[in-house]
Chains A and B, each alone.
Chain A
Amino acid sequence: MPTFKIDGKDVPFEKGDTILRAALRAGIDIPYYCWHPGLSIAANCRMCLVEILPPPGRPPMLLDVLELDREKSAYVNVKKPKLQPACQVPAGENMEVLSDTSEHVLRARHSVQEFLLLNHPVDCPICDQAGECKLQDYWLEHMKTKKRMRDEPVHKPKAVSFGPTIVYDAERCIICTRCVRFCKEVVKDPVLTVRERGNVNEIAVSPGRELDHAYTFMTEHVCPVGALTTKDFRFKARVWFLRSAKSICQGCATGCNAYLDYDPRYQRAYRYRPRDNEKVNQHWMCDEGMLSYKLAHDDRITLARIGGKQAKLAKAVSKAAELLKDGPTDQTAILLSAQHSNEDNFALVSLAKALGIKAMFLTGKADGEGDDILRHVDKNPNTAGVKLVAAKAVGSFDDLVKGIEAGTVKHVVALGSAVPVEDADSTLKQLTTLVVVGSSSSSLSRNADVFLPACTWAEAHGVYVNAKGMGQQSLRAIAPADDAQPGWKLVADLAEALGQKFAWSKLKELRAVMPAVKEPEPEKPEDEPAENADASAES
């Protein structure tokens, strides 16, 4: 691999790499605001300026500048090298770049930071970005002094609603144009632009439009400062109290990699953030997916129910076993869920095998809108996974409805909380026995004779297989609420009550016998948070 030098250190690069990209890959920190790996290069923030030494035998690029000589208290003519943006200049063989070792570069960073903070309001205490703001980080790293300007800063509009999801604060904005470029290049909906020039410029929405495409949350995500905030997360939590778990979005079959940010003190999820994965979602997520973290808390049922009345979990399990014992196996069916992980579905398939139940059906959410960016029409995260663990043809929900209407299915053990039809109540009422292992309220839980409270994806480790057939692991974030337990554990308990003992009782053992998935993610990512590591060890 060809190399070039940054501050005398050899840095390897690939053809087409810019200096910044190669430096980041080599673990060398060059500060930047406007550059984003998934967007075009704007080079407008000037934070990544570096000094590039001339090739041997060529004169250096020098600028004539006037500088104040404090001793003489007069301006003198000096020459200084022309600095160049590391994000834009391609790396070249044997190029010599000075970054932290160049006095000019350090001064430039200091000055750029001073310019960016010139009109910045004193907003940190009320700004959602505080704690993950580049302006804060870089001030301490590269500026460390007060600004010299004594004038009143320029005031601009604050808390401007850009649309149903995003609020804009022009005073905090550094006009890096990341949001503008994101809308134009990724979503192909150029709804944002920069208005005016100099220190009065601001981001504006096209006249007659709102920022309302399907990826508005990403404009907030790419914003390096607190200019764009989401209405959903605004003033809800302070980021330094949040911890992140590596999660898989539950919104659709794309299976976007995400961080689920939660507050360990309240065991509450607060937001999703995309986790970079070139093979799946690159750097992005859609609005629908970003909001799907709410499923961790909305409409939850966390206590067992018998006939709609709250009951002790153990009692509910034995009641379910009692009800199922009577049913002839040819009239019993299992209902798998594309909303649940491979583990949960595999446990239920194992139960069916043990009991000799043949009929298997699949439930999940109904198809929705899709596009060719990320959104998949299948709004279930694990349809492919269910088909994999079932290892045979699985009937659709419509098939189940037909079976119930025809009277061939009288008893059902169901997983999940979603049904693809609007009203399934009238059909489900005809069942003699309905045992549901689910996490939230739906027509399944409403009609269940026995309801067993399962963990959501946020409360348990699980493998999900996306539409491309990639198995991806989602790690536990928060502790199970109340009596909730991983779905596979509840199914195993139920099996035991029915006199069937599975060969596995722990997650590790279950995964060993579960059908393997193509391209599985490593069991334990290196930088997995410690608390999650503990949790996987005990389960």
Chain B
Amino acid sequence: MEPLDQEVEESELELPSDPMQLMMGPSHPAMHGTVRIAVELSGEVVVKADVQIGYLHRGFEKSCERGNWTQVFPYVDRCNYSSPMLNNVGYALAVEKLCGLTVPDRCQYYRVILGELARMADHLVCNAAMAMELGAFTPFLWWTRAREMIYDLFEEETGARVTHSFGRIGGMAHPPTDNFKQHTLAILDKVVASSDEGISLLETNRIFMDRTMGVSAISQADAIALGWTGPCLRSTGVPYDIRKAHPYLVYDRFEFDVPVGHEGDNYDRLMVRAEEVHQSARIIRQALEQMPDEGPINVDDPRIVLPPKGEVYDTIEATIRHFKIIMEGLKVPAGEAYGYTEAANGELGFYVVSDGSGTPYRVRIRPPSFALVGGLSKLITGQMIADIIPTFGSMNMIGGECDH
């Protein structure tokens, strides 16, 4: 009988070295947004990655073609469900471009403030999820608490916490509440402080730095070639922000900086978002100061905007106006337009085509996530399998807008 503790050569213990095929997702807890990554592993190193999207495809663009123009708002809400208000405003701006409408000043400021709040919420969620997936649960809870304050404000303003469907062509569904300004100012400091507090736990944390610095870095040239926009592009050092480059609404009236990173790695993407929370707060403070307290929110055009509900019940004119807009839909002049805005993840574009009727002929979305996910396999190839999680998290892929 041979002794059990017989000396064996190290090399004889090697396992067969065929690459291992592994399917991550679509229902993996870290694959938020339902995506599947088919990875080929050599040990723990990713040698090949095939990112497969489409698990959240729900025919959003086709659905838009069966209702009227206003009925698209609930659909765009669900595109980027982390910041629905930015989608609402983005879509409204595209259709208004086609109609040749400009909403009143007060509405422009209102849209900016709500949009920036949505951006803050989006960034907080993204950073929180990324940190949590690396084991940092405390920042997640703190940032979620901060987001909760923003959600409370949205609930007060729009009646809904997440999917507000609050935008309208030619304005907003309701004017700001009486204490909108006070409420916003009251939460602003707390949200920013909370963001900073969470960052302070990560910024110089050795484990966090090792897991994110230099991991999944991308060059400026590659990011541009992939069509990246938003925080992910800015993390590589390209200072491109549509709010600065092609100002819309009243963004040209505010002073704010475009934070950029240097390396384009996971750490930079997180830090860019963290800094943008500060910049959003800056914009909101200026907007609150400049926003008029009185004045109309909606354009004054009976063909576009619904009459006050009280009048609908009492007067034939308002009944007719209501009837025409609800039953036939507001008529958008025939033509096509591309409206683009800086959403939380980058350039959010809507290409709308009208045949002059009350129903969209075509609505095409240019979601920022789509371009970002296009670069994912490049980023994670050559990284460790565990690095897929923070890389994917830092990208903030949102299935709702990506799968279109």
Within 8 Å CB of B323, what residues of A? 124-125, 130-131, 136
Task: Write out, one digit per residue, whether chain B residues 47-88 have a CB within 8 A of any chain A CB (1) or not (0).
Answer: 000000000000000000000000000000000000000000
Task: Write out, one digit per residue, whether chain A residues 24-38 have a CB within 8 A of any chain B CB (1) or not (0).
Answer: 000000000000000
Q: Do B321 and A140 touch (CB < 8 A)? A: yes
Q: Do B316 and A117 touch (CB < 8 A)? A: yes
Question: Which of A136, A145, A240 has the largest count of B CB atoms less than 10 A from its CB?
Answer: A136
Question: Which of B314, B316, B320, B327 has the largest count of A CB atoms less than 10 A from its CB?
Answer: B316
Chain B minimum-CB-distance residue to A125: B319
Within 8 Å CB of A125, what residues of B? 319, 323
Select one of A121, A123, A131, A143 contacting B317, CB under 8 A. Answer: A143
Interface range, A side: 10 to 19
Chain B, interface SS category: helix
Q: Is A122 engaged at the interface, CB distance under 8 Å to the other chain? A: yes
Q: Do B327 and A139 touch (CB < 8 A)? A: no
Within 8 Å CB of A146, what residues of B? 311, 315, 317-318
Q: Do B313 and A122 touch (CB < 8 A)? A: yes
CA distance A130 to B316 in the complex (A): 12
Q: Do A139 and B318 touch (CB < 8 A)? A: no
A140-B302, A144-B302, A144-B303 known; A122-B324 Cβ under 8 A: no
CA distance A490 to B320 in the complex (A): 50
**Within the complex, what minimum Cβ distance (angstroms) separates B358 from chain A?**
10
CA distance A277 to B399 in the complex (A): 55
Within 8 Å CB of A124, what residues of B? 316, 319-320, 323
**Within the complex, what minimum Cβ distance (angstroms) separates B361 from chain A?**
14
**Within the complex, what minimum Cβ distance (angstroms) separates B101 from chain A?**
16
Q: Is B189 engaged at the interface, CB distance under 8 Å to the other chain? A: no
**Within the complex, what minimum Cβ distance (angstroms) separates A101 from chain B?**
20
Residues of chain A from 107 to 144 with CB closer than 8 A to chain B in the complex: 117, 120-125, 130-131, 135-136, 139-140, 143-144
Task: Write out, one digit per residue, whether chain B residues 314-346 have a CB within 8 A of any chain A CB (1) or not (0).
Answer: 111111110110011000000000000000000
Chain A minimum-CB-distance residue to B312: A122
Q: Do A121 and B316 touch (CB < 8 A)? A: yes
Residues of chain A from 460 to 490 with CB closer than 8 A to chain B in the complex: none
Within 8 Å CB of A79, what residues of B? none
Q: Is A9 engaged at the interface, CB distance under 8 Å to the other chain? A: no
Within 8 Å CB of A143, what residues of B? 317
CA distance A124 to B317 in the complex (A): 10
Within 8 Å CB of B324, what residues of A? 136, 140
Within 8 Å CB of A147, what residues of B? 315-317
CA distance A117 to B316 in the complex (A): 7
CA distance A121 to B327 in the complex (A): 19
CA distance A82 to B379 in the complex (A): 77
Chain A minimum-CB-distance residue to B324: A140
Q: Do B303 and A240 touch (CB < 8 A)? A: no
Within 8 Å CB of B320, what residues of A? 124, 135-136, 139-140
Residues of chain A from 135 to 162 with CB closer than 8 A to chain B in the complex: 135-136, 139-140, 143-147
A122-B314, A131-B327, A240-B327 known; A140-B319 Cβ under 8 A: no
Question: Which of A121, A124, A147 has the largest count of B CB atoms less than 10 A from its CB?
Answer: A124
CA distance A3 to B198 in the complex (A): 79
Within 8 Å CB of A135, what residues of B? 320
Chain A minimum-CB-distance residue to B302: A144
CA distance A143 to B320 in the complex (A): 11
**Within the complex, what minimum Cβ distance (angstroms) separates A153 from chain B?**
9
CA distance A123 to B315 in the complex (A): 10
Within 8 Å CB of A123, what residues of B? 316
Chain A minimum-CB-distance residue to B311: A146
Chain A minimum-CB-distance residue to B328: A240
**Within the complex, what minimum Cβ distance (angstroms) separates A431 from chain B?**
53
Within 8 Å CB of B303, what residues of A? 140, 144
CA distance A136 to B324 in the complex (A): 8
CA distance A52 to B173 in the complex (A): 45
Within 8 Å CB of B328, what residues of A? 240
CA distance A482 to B324 in the complex (A): 37
Chain B minimum-CB-distance residue to A138: B320
Chain A minimum-CB-distance residue to B322: A124
**Within the complex, what minimum Cβ distance (angstroms) separates A143 from chain B?**
7
Within 8 Å CB of B314, what residues of A? 122
**Within the complex, what minimum Cβ distance (angstroms) separates A491 from chain B?**
39
Question: Which of B302, B313, B320 has the largest count of A CB atoms less than 10 A from its CB?
Answer: B320
CA distance A139 to B323 in the complex (A): 12
CA distance A124 to B328 in the complex (A): 14
**Within the complex, what minimum Cβ distance (angstroms) separates B83 from chain A?**
35
Chain B minimum-CB-distance residue to A147: B317
Question: Which of B302, B303, B318, B323 has the largest count of A CB atoms less than 10 A from its CB?
Answer: B323
Within 8 Å CB of B316, what residues of A? 117, 120-124, 147
CA distance A131 to B324 in the complex (A): 8
CA distance A443 to B92 in the complex (A): 63
Within 8 Å CB of A117, what residues of B? 316-317
Chain B minimum-CB-distance residue to A118: B316
Task: Give 15 CB contacts A-B under 8 Å.
Answer: A121-B316, A122-B319, A124-B316, A125-B319, A130-B327, A131-B323, A131-B327, A136-B320, A136-B324, A140-B324, A144-B302, A145-B302, A146-B311, A146-B315, A147-B317
Other A-B pairs, 8, CB within 8 Å; known A122-B315, A140-B302, A146-B311? A122-B316, A122-B319, A123-B316, A124-B323, A125-B323, A136-B323, A139-B321, A147-B315
A residues in contact (CB < 8 Å) with B = 117, 120-125, 130-131, 135-136, 139-140, 143-147, 240
Shortest 5 CB-CB distances between A and B: which pairs? A120-B316, A144-B302, A139-B320, A124-B319, A136-B320
